[in-house]
Structure 1
């Protein structure tokens, strides 16, 4: 969230319905509390080894078993700030029918980086304050490797009804440590009314997008409306947007062998698109500090022609209570790329059980309820959150209410899963530092990528 509003997030292997590469995830000790961790929602795609399986040289974590899910009573759900305002209603339904096993919502900060830090601090102190953890999928490998979460009984959940790649986001060594709550892919929100007046269609390339913005700028209605924004602040969202730009130019950030690959022509084209966007005014200067909600507010107030965002924006931007100036005036398309439609990163949220929690039998039953298809449907209707269940994308009623579902399914199908590297914090920090320097113009694209290649390679090599 990616990113990390409740339905973001930024999110692991989610619905880019591609098989995971053979992961070479390294396990190491618990990170120091003082360390700076850059994390997500949403979501970035260091296209590398994923957590679905591991190398022979790795030590599989000692996992919990279903028999250990004992104890009933009150529990907590720890999750990023619920900007969709949908979670408490679901908890109320559970609590009404489970008066002795009530779930208390623990809202963590909106920032994914801060969420992850608090999750880690809770684990380091072996605290039972958090029972069920709503994790960005990219964290699952780290939490499983460090034995901060329990292995879950996969056969107790309807995983066969979910998008296969989404299910894998919760796996480590081919065992299920988390259950998908929702999923995510980046989309291009655009002002349909302005494009219609400019005689333009939704762009499929970066060049077309800039040309369309030039046409809109000539309209009386286009005065004061900026072209494009994404998530460009120096946090996980920047990793997501950088990775999408590289993938949309035909490159990778980390290849299937686990090697950093940002010293390539494709990576240069991707980062150059972002850097030049600020230099030539395609991106408003203030968007250099945009996270998801900043951009949403800008789009909703009519200040942007195009906005890269997670699906949750659909419900908020379409609100007819006066909070959105663009309600009924926007559409959704796949992200544009260098020579054609681009490639999204994957986001979402996965539910896990803290190794140090009490009342784990209750926790297991609650995850079954909270992640079920009925709630996924409710979440879609209430907040346009992308569901993990395959059938919902083809449901006639839902497709009528949410005409972008076909576009979302396409984006999910073509999305690239992020690698569940245990030391993901170090890898994403390396990306953010160098990408931010290129975007603010303090270093050249070539120099930024050379530095990123060195630091990303070092992060991947950590053991």
Structure 2
């Protein structure tokens, strides 16, 4: 997930929630709220590292001088964004009109009455990817507009693989490690692989993808924690042993999205698990990237074949406590229109929610990874709608970080996580 939010991802848990003590309402919604009032609005979002959002706001403001939209940039960290949005809602502040939310927050925010139900007939949901639409609903009702989708991809140094006589990217973890051995003599000292392993939402994503890619699950389809399994251990062991044997460099324990991106762009990595947003930045020809034109993307590898990415992305919601909600609704329709999403893709390489854009010959020519991304998004493991989320993701991050840093063995970390998730899901 890209760092407008640090896209964080998690093949996770039905029935998990935020740390908020008020996160207890699970009553199904009844009808969409009223969208009245016109005037100035605000958009609360993670840091706009691409510069796209301000350009979009400028275009809106030129056409709507009496309904000016102002960007409120929150921290890069998705965890900190979520906390600030929750604090704003708990005080019933009208400071945030529109919330750019991680897709996994929909159920929590809707259940607590922090966001308005949206009128479905005013959005082209039938033209959007089904997985993206599903993330925006709670009890079958639309509580946010699908805005950007996401799935982890494997970025790799195609120039180095070609020079080593490797014709195609690895499909398994073992193949990836073997490729690194072949490439090492001409890699300039680059490390083999990295992802996002700092203790934050990105670690939840990388942990979950490793578990899923080994055939395991964190929680099964019935809502029962099943993370203490042989398959989950194989997934976590891949990460733990990769840190131990140097496949993953030690400094990657501090990597979030941007640290990992910079390492890849500086030529320090052969392979990297990253979100689509990096494609445009790594291909920049302004001197900021040493690997422009030298890399390609593929599905993430797994234990016995291609791995399973986790569905990420962002939705746009209207704060329950905001003013000028009619303006807010119109602004969201503008920002999530197909034309605007195409412009967003062209500017940032972030993944749109409209299916047709992935098959547009003009776009595929400019972004050759689009077919791979569409496949990754279509096959990604969704993050279930969760009312209690904060405690679960914190427990996962604690367990994964303990195993990666050697504080606990993989067996003990998974056993403790199983116990903790069982306790959380019974609340």
Q: What range is the shorter-chain TM-score in?
A: over 0.9
Alignment-derived partner of residue 183 in structure 2: 216
TM-score by length of 1: 0.89
Alignment-derived partner of residue 60 in structure 2: 94
Listed as ranges, the matches of 1:149-298 within 5 Å are: 149-200=115-166, 201-219=168-186, 222-298=187-263
Secondary structure class of the residue paired with 2:156: strand
Secondary structure class of the residue paired with 1:232: coil
Secondary structure class of the residue paired with 1:350: strand
Kindly provide the CA deviation profile for residues 118-167 of structure 1, in whole angstroms up to 9, marking residues without a partner as x: 00000000000000000001001000000000000010111111011111
Q: Which runs of 5+ in 1 are unaligned?
A: 14-20, 34-56
For residues 24 and 110 of structure 1, what CA distance do their matches in structure 2 show? 26
State yes or no: 1:333 paired with 2:271.
no
State yes or no: 1:313 paired with 2:295.
no
Secondary structure class of the residue paired with 2:270: strand
Listed as ranges, the matches of 1:123-134 within 5 Å are: 123-134=89-100
For residues 428 and 24 of structure 1, what CA distance do their matches in structure 2 show? 12
**Contact 1:189–1:333 (8 Å) recurs in 2:** yes
Question: Cα 1:303–1:146, aligned 2, differ >3 Å: closer, same or farther?
Answer: same
Report the CA distance between 1:223 and its aligned residue. Answer: 2.9
Question: Cα 1:276–1:12, aligned 2, differ >3 Å: closer, same or farther?
Answer: closer
**Contact 1:318–1:326 (8 Å) recurs in 2:** yes
The Cα RMSD (Å) is 1.9
For residues 61 and 113 of structure 1, what CA distance do their matches in structure 2 show? 26
TM-score by length of 2: 0.96
Secondary structure class of the residue paired with 1:257: coil
Secondary structure class of the residue paired with 2:202: helix
Alignment-derived partner of residue 342 in structure 2: 377
For residues 424 and 14 of structure 2, what CA distance do their matches in structure 1 show? 13
**Contact 1:302–1:325 (8 Å) recurs in 2:** yes
Aligned length: 425
For residues 165 and 25 of structure 1, what CA distance do their matches in structure 2 show? 19
Question: Cα 1:11–1:355, aligned 2, differ >3 Å: closer, same or farther?
Answer: farther
Secondary structure class of the residue paired with 1:184: strand
For residues 348 and 382 of structure 2, what CA distance do their matches in structure 1 show? 23
For residues 21 and 260 of structure 2, what CA distance do their matches in structure 1 show? 32
